[in-house]
Amino acid sequence: MAKIIMHIDLNAFFATCEQIRDPRLIGQPIIIGHPGRSGIVSTASYEARKFGCHSGQPTFQALKLCPQALVIPPDFDYYQVMSNSFVAYLQRFSKIYESASIDECYVDMTKPLKDCPDPKQYLLDLQQGLLNETGLKCSIGIAPTKFLAKMASDMKKPMGLVFLRRRDIPTLLYPLPIEAFWGIGKKTSPKLRAMGITTIGELAKRANALDPLLMEELGKFFYVIKDWVNGYGSDTIDMAPFDPKSIGNSETLMHDCDTEEEIAPVIKRLSEEVASRARADKKVGCTVTLVVKDTAFHLHNKSVSFRDSTNDSEEIYSKALNLYRTSFLGLLIRLVGVTLGKLSDPSKETVQMSLWNYEKFEEQDRTRLLINELNRKMEKPLLMRGSEAQKKGGKHGDF
């Protein structure tokens, strides 16, 4: 018996979180990202997307398309809290789930839907229940494999529900443009178009014919794709928690830069994002790596390791900035990245940490748990730590 796999994808997650925190933003075009010439859009609300704004776009370009959009810096700690609420809600329906990212999950719905008299209504109720309880909107794809479920959830947004069975593949999947194929990147799709493959259906036809040119282009990935386009592939939900060994963020600059005055603010911003993600994952690290890409597209990196693990943004920034000063000052740069590595859970740390550092981490964690519990009881995220409110300048959620 085929499994029933659900892929559930939160719609414009970061933007929706900000609208939940500040209802005055509902219905307005907002951009999650950083302002300035080097800022990049993390996501945009659907109101902003109507003007052509999208993730990965330089912020200045998005603002040219939608000058009235409000730019809000990302708050990964808050987004992680909302993501945890999302996962907790899904666990009511199935304990077999796999977090694919902060805003999407695969869920084995075989047992819940096996004897369900009206699967469509059941899933619509699940979707509406998530909206009612958390304010989060989602799109749902239902299919016998993870790939098909992922493709189905992308077919209708926001608040979509699409069933993609094997018999539906010719009518629902094959007409889609080749760029819509999950797993084929921006570099491969133009090459496939050059070979005359413009739709997923044409890809399936050439794959089933064992086209030697296609086999050469796709390499080892060929047989995986051949299975996918015929409705086969993995249906295994990996329940092992994701345990990253490093956390990093990078940013492509709007123009090439070679001065500390231009580069330091980018390093600081990236350090704050990395620290925020590490705190959300309850991780500390003892290696900071700075990565830069020069104008010839060559990557360079330098790292520094230290004894006392940290997830403090100022410490990460200080070490990353020192790496820039000692190794890359004066180099013409087009991309900057900051990574916190050799991550560990301080509550399970076997290496002796300084007592002050550990107690500081525990105090911060207890404070977050208390705030989250109070917000849950009040059914609104009204409270935050003073340091977070100060960082936001009193905006969005600082009541």
Interval 315-325 mean pLDDT:
96
* Nearest-angstrom CA–CA distance, 29 and 74: 15
pLDDT tier for residue 374 given thresholds of 50, 70 and 90: low
What pLDDT is attached to residue 187? 82
Residue 165's H or E segment, with its range, is: none
Identify the residue with better confidence: 252 or 98: 98
Interval 71-90 mean pLDDT:
91
Judged against a pLDDT cut of 60, whether residue 113 lies above it is answered with yes
Kindly tell me the number of DSSP H helices and DSSP E strands found in the chain: 15, 12
For the chain, what are the domain ranges?
1-164, 170-229, 246-353, 362-399
pLDDT tier for residue 349 given thresholds of 50, 70 and 90: low
Cβ contact 102:80 at 8 Å: yes
pLDDT tier for residue 345 given thresholds of 50, 70 and 90: confident
219 phi-psi bin (left φ>0, alpha ψ -120 to 50, beta other): left
CA distances from 84 to 5, 134, 162, 171 (A): 21, 11, 25, 36
* Nearest-angstrom CA–CA distance, 269 and 337: 10
Residues 6 or more apart in contact with residue 51 via CB below 8 angstroms: 29, 65, 66, 69
What pLDDT is attached to residue 355? 41
Identify the residue with better confidence: 65 or 74: 65
* Nearest-angstrom CA–CA distance, 280 and 219: 38
Interval 286-300 mean pLDDT:
90
The class level of CATH for 246-353 reads alpha beta
Amino acid at 345: D
170-229, CATH topology level? DNA polymerase; domain 1 (1.10.150)
Greatest Cα pair distance in the chain: 67
**Within this chain, domains 1-164 and 246-353 share the same CATH topology:** no
Cβ contact 384:396 at 8 Å: no
The domain over range 1-164 is classified in CATH as 3.40.640.10: no
Judged against a pLDDT cut of 90, whether residue 398 lies above it is answered with no
Encode pLDDT of 120-141 as tens digits.
Answer: 999 999 999 999 999 999 999 9
* Nearest-angstrom CA–CA distance, 206 and 93: 40
The token duo for 157 is 């947004």
What pLDDT is attached to residue 35? 80
What pLDDT is attached to residue 350? 44
What pLDDT is attached to residue 351? 42
Encode pLDDT of 139-197 as tens digits.
Answer: 999 999 999 999 999 999 999 999 999 999 999 999 999 999 998 877 889 999 999 99
Cβ density class 139-164: b for 16+ within 10 Å, e for less: bbbbbbbbbbbbbbbbbeeeebbbbb
- In the block, residue with structure tokens 């907790």: 88
Encode pLDDT of 206-247 as tens digits.
Answer: 999 999 999 999 998 999 999 999 999 999 998 876 667 889
pLDDT tier for residue 254 given thresholds of 50, 70 and 90: confident
pLDDT, averaged across the chain: 87
Interval 1-25 mean pLDDT:
94
Would the CA dihedral through 137, 281, 384, 39 be positive or negative? negative
Q: What is the DSSP letter of 313?
A: H
What pLDDT is attached to residue 341? 93
| Catalytic site positions | 104
Interval 96-101 mean pLDDT:
91
* Nearest-angstrom CA–CA distance, 314 and 194: 48
Nearest to 267 by CA among 297, 288, 298: 288
pTM for the full model? 0.70
pLDDT tier for residue 370 given thresholds of 50, 70 and 90: low
pLDDT tier for residue 362 given thresholds of 50, 70 and 90: very low
Encode pLDDT of 257-283 as tens digits.
Answer: 899 998 999 999 999 989 988 888 889
Q: 40-44, 71-75, 391-395 — which is least confidently predicted?
A: 391-395
- Supply φ then ψ for residue 379, to 5 degrees: 65, 20
Encode pLDDT of 322-344 as tens digits.
Answer: 999 999 999 999 889 999 999 98
Judged against a pLDDT cut of 60, whether residue 82 lies above it is answered with yes
